[in-house]
A and B are shown apart, each in its own frame.
Chain A
Amino acid sequence: DGGITQSPKYLFRKEGQNVTLSCEQNLNHDAMYWYRQDPGQGLRLIYYSQIVNDFQKGDIAEGYSVSREKKESFPLTVTSAQKNPTAFYLCASGYRGGNEQFFGPGTRLTVL
């Protein structure tokens, strides 16, 4: 089945640790995105990538890092520099051009 997957579904992190969230798609999409969602809020763009080996900062990139070594994969690392990382993280992919995006099921990160 074609789709976009995220793992793990739930992630717990101790303060000071880096954690990496996985995002994989087999939809042959060039563009991939990472969003953060806080309770009762909309989505805020963290990083995006329009093509392999290239990515750009979104609106709230501080404390996060990404890589795009393969078309199918766009992992997000939440570093210890992110002061308030507890949130719901959503990955999406789509064709270049700002149209429909396809979302993964999300990863809920909790800092203990």
Chain B
Amino acid sequence: SQQGEEDPQALSIQEGENATMNCSYKTSINNLQWYRQNSGRGLVHLILIRSNEREKHSGRLRVTLDTSKKSSSLLITASRAADTASYFCATDAITQGGSEKLVFGKGTKLTVNP
């Protein structure tokens, strides 16, 4: 089952605007990650935030984590047309065999119009 659920499913903005995507999850986590996927390509890791962190920055990216609400947000500031992609959150989980794995949400499709 998919633990992370992104919101909105699709987002269309103008270049220069900020884009905010949200992720909700169901069970306790050790960390939460955000990935980006350009159409027809593999995923690229953007940022990881640990359960004891509340906010993290990387360039134009800002991620927040609220473990009491089981939610995270990804903010992309001053968006560019090249930011057009799908964005996925992923949470860590334990498999039936006791190994760690990632569980991905369905993603937010971001379109940045020039």
Q: Which residues of A contact B (CB under 8 A)?
A: 6, 33, 35, 40-45, 48, 50, 56, 58-59, 88, 90, 92, 96-106, 108
Contacting pair B101 A58 (CB below 8 A): yes
In the complex, what's the smallest C-beta–C-beta distance from B63 to chain A, in angstroms?
14
Q: Which residues of B contact A (CB under 8 A)?
A: 1-2, 4, 30-31, 33, 35, 40-45, 48, 88, 92-93, 95, 97, 99-107
Contacting pair B2 A58 (CB below 8 A): no
Contact of A58 among B30, B41, B92, B95 (CB under 8 A): B95
- Contacts A40-B106, A42-B105 given: A102-B40 contact, CB under 8 Å? no
Contacting pair B45 A101 (CB below 8 A): yes
Contacting pair B33 A42 (CB below 8 A): no
Contacting pair B101 A103 (CB below 8 A): no
- The dominant DSSP class at the A interface is strand
Chain A residues positioned under 8 Å from B93 (CB to CB): 98
Contacting pair B100 A97 (CB below 8 A): yes
The 6 closest A-B pairs by CB, nearest first: A98-B100, A103-B42, A98-B92, A42-B104, A43-B104, A42-B106
Beyond the given pairs A42-B107, A99-B31, A100-B48, 12 more chain A to chain B contacts, judged by CB atoms under 8 angstroms and listed by A's residue number, are A41-B106, A42-B2, A43-B104, A48-B101, A50-B99, A58-B95, A90-B43, A97-B100, A98-B30, A98-B92, A99-B92, A101-B102
A88 to B41, CA, bound (A): 9
- In the complex, the chain A residue whose C-beta lies closest to that of B43 is A103
Which of A42, A96, A104, A105 is most buried by chain B, counting CB atoms within 10 A of its CB? A42
In the complex, what's the smallest C-beta–C-beta distance from A46 to chain B, in angstroms?
11
A73 to B40, CA, bound (A): 22
Contact of B42 among A40, A44, A58, A106 (CB under 8 A): A106
In the complex, what's the smallest C-beta–C-beta distance from A55 to chain B, in angstroms?
10
A46 to B31, CA, bound (A): 22
Can you spell out 28 A-B residue pairs with CB atoms less than 8 angstroms apart? A33-B101, A41-B106, A42-B2, A42-B4, A42-B88, A42-B107, A43-B88, A45-B101, A45-B102, A48-B95, A48-B101, A58-B101, A59-B1, A90-B42, A90-B43, A92-B43, A98-B30, A98-B31, A98-B100, A98-B101, A99-B31, A99-B92, A100-B45, A103-B43, A105-B41, A105-B42, A106-B40, A106-B42
